[in-house]
Amino acid sequence: MSFHSTAAQLVTLASEGEEHGGNHESLNPYLTGGGALFVLLLLLWITTRFNRDR
C-alpha cells in the first residue's frame, strides 16, 4: 500500500466523521476529565504510600 493511497483513505474516513461530530450525547467532557484526574491522583497517592522507605 502506497503512502498516497493510505492518505486518500484517511481523508475519506475523516470526512465521513464530520457529520456526526465524534462526541456521544452522554459524554460530558468535564465529568470525564474530572474522573480521569481523580483516578490519576488516587494512583499517585497509592504509589506514594508504597514508597515510604525513600
pLDDT, tens digit, 9 for 90 and up, residues 21-49: 566 777 888 999 999 999 999 999 999 89
Looking up cell 484517511 gives 10
* Residue 40 CA, distance from chain mean position: 14
pLDDT, tens digit, 9 for 90 and up, residues 10-23: 888 777 655 555 66
Q: Residue 21 corresponds to which cell in the numbers above?
A: 461530530
d(CA 54, CA 48): 10
